[in-house]
Amino acid sequence: MRGLYVHVPFCARKCSYCDFYSLPARLDLLEAYVQAVVHESHRYGGLSFQTLYLGGGTPSLLGPGHLRELVGGIGKSVDLSELIESTIEVNPESATGALLEAAREAGINRVSIGVQSLSDYELQGVGRIHTAAQAVEAIILASRLGFKSVSADLIIGLPGQTWSALHRTLGTLVGAGIEHVSLYCLSLEKGTPLEKSPPLDLPSDDTQAQLFEQARSFLLGHGFIHYEISNFALKGYECLHNLNYWRGGEYVGLGPAAASHLYGRRFRNRADLDAYIDRPGYLTEDVEELDVRDKASEEAMLRLRLLVEGLDAGELAAKFGRDNIEPLADRLERMAHDGLLVFDGLRYRLAPSRVLTSNPIFAEVL
């Protein structure tokens, strides 16, 4: 399994919590960007991919023309014939009928909508430029156009968020027939406007935890499976592209700031659009090739995020060598003994009560 990720670093406006690489007001560079990504894809000519994911930023800002050009161009250099899942992230305000139709035509079968909330108060509070109504329209539109799966991103802990508002949001989404929900806890990332001047009604960590638990119960009650720390899906609708990340799989990232994992090595394109357009894919950073033991620990840490699938200790030993995972195996065993992990004789899983406090456990695994 190999995934292809394309980072689309454009935004109409930067949200106050966002620390991803995205640039508002650089839409004049769209054409040059698309050509650069197609150019970069030649570096991976001959590789075949089973998933494609256009993330951002705001990929829906590409518009129908550039979207076609991008996917078409990439498809000429790398092998996309085996694609099982192909996702585009869209923002409600730019998820137009024309864009979504172009996406369908380009073979994209999954839409991930940046809904974040269906409360206009919460949306405005963090600088989102769409309304709740636009988000609902986008969901309905996407479902009507026959995408196999529609997903919504939601943020837990938006300023002023209450359970009754979040409950309404979830209810509407489920009612609209959504198949997949990602719940991300709001975090104050260094240097973001939200971090610099957090609003007074920002929910505390404790409140966030409570909201998350309530949302989780709601989704489980509606048939969703909590398959990864932040992700819920109806059976069969898990996001394969992201699953591949957690399974330690290979993937290639195209575009500025995109991360790759190929032949055991992790690296990332520099977060610099101009430099990228100039020499696509030449400026890589954070190149990292872990030794086999660290690699095994990393994969264990990632796989433990998969709450249902968990970590198959035998599989890990087969992949990395029994000797190499010995200290790790001891740690896992001890953590299971201490009740941090659950072991069923075959697989280790995160104890359900520990999902929101998993960092110390993962730190221990590493």
Partner 1 sequence: MDNIRNFCIIAHIDHGKSTLADRILELTGVLHTTANAQVLDSMALERERGITIKAKSVRMPYQSRSGQSYILNLIDTPGHVDFNYEVSRSLKACEGALLLVDAAQGVEAQTIANAYLAIDAGLEIIPVINKIDLPNAMIDECRLQLEDMLGLPAKDALLISAKDGTGVPNLLEAIVSRLPSPRGGVDEPLRCLIFDSYYDSYRGVIAHIRLFSGSLRRGDRIMIKSTSKVCEVDEVGYFLPQITPSDKLMAGEVGYVAATIRKAGDIHVGDCIISPDRPETAAIPGFRRSQPMVFCGIYPINSSDYSKLAAALEKFQLNDSSIVYEKESSAALGHGYRLGFLGMLHMEITLERLKREYGQELISTMPSVIYKVVTTRGETLMIDNPSRFPTAAYIDHIEEPIIRARIIVPNAFVGPCMELSESRRGTLVSMEHLDTRRALLTYDFPLAETVTGYYDKLKSVSRGYASMDYDLAGYRSSDLVKVDVLVKENQVDALSFITVRDSAIPKGRALIHKLRKLIPRHLFEIPLQAAIGGKVIARENIVPLRKDVLSKCYGGDITRKRKLLEKQKEGKKRMKMVGSVEVPQEAFMLLLKMEE
d(CA 59, CA 53): 10
Which residue is associated with the tokens 């709001």?
186
Please, which residue, 267 or 343, has the CB nearer to partner 1?
267
β strands within the chain, DSSP E: 2-8, 10-11, 23-24, 51-56, 85-90, 110-116, 149-156, 180-185, 225-228, 231-233, 250-254, 259-262, 265-269, 284-288, 311-312, 341-343, 347-350
Shortest approach of partner 1 to residue 295 CB, angstroms?
11
Shortest approach of partner 1 to residue 339 CB, angstroms?
10
Residue 208 is a binding residue for partner 1 (CB under 8 A) = yes
Quick note: the x/- pattern for partner 1 over 15-34, rule CB under 8 A, is: -----x--------------
**What angle, rounded to 10 degrees, do the helices at 163-175 and 205-221 form?**
30
Range in contact with partner 1 (rule: CB under 8 A) among 22-30, 91-99, 137-145, 205-213:
205-213
If you compute the radius of gyration of the chain from its CA atoms, what whole number of angstroms results? 20
How many residues contact partner 1, by CB under 8 A? 45
Residue 232 is a binding residue for partner 1 (CB under 8 A) = no
Shortest approach of partner 1 to residue 299 CB, angstroms?
10
Shortest approach of partner 1 to residue 258 CB, angstroms?
7
Residue 250 is a binding residue for partner 1 (CB under 8 A) = no
User: Which tokens sit at 132?
Assistant: 């709740």
Please, which residue, 133 or 366, has the CB nearer to partner 1?
366
Shortest approach of partner 1 to residue 230 CB, angstroms?
4
Q: Which residues contact 257 (CB under 8 A, 6 or more apart)?
A: 7, 9, 20, 21, 268, 269, 270, 271
| DSSP result, 24-82 | ET-GGGHHHHHHHHHHHHGGGTT-B-SEEEEEES-GGGGHHHHHHHHHHHHHHHSB-TT
Residue from 195, 272, 298, 333 touching partner 1 (CB under 8 A): that is: 298
Please, which residue, 175 or 360, has the CB nearer to partner 1?
360
Could you list the residues that contact partner 1 (CB under 8 A)?
Answer: 3, 5, 7, 20, 55, 182-185, 187, 205-206, 208-210, 212, 229-230, 242, 245, 251, 253, 257-261, 266, 268, 286, 288, 298, 301-302, 354-360, 362-364, 366
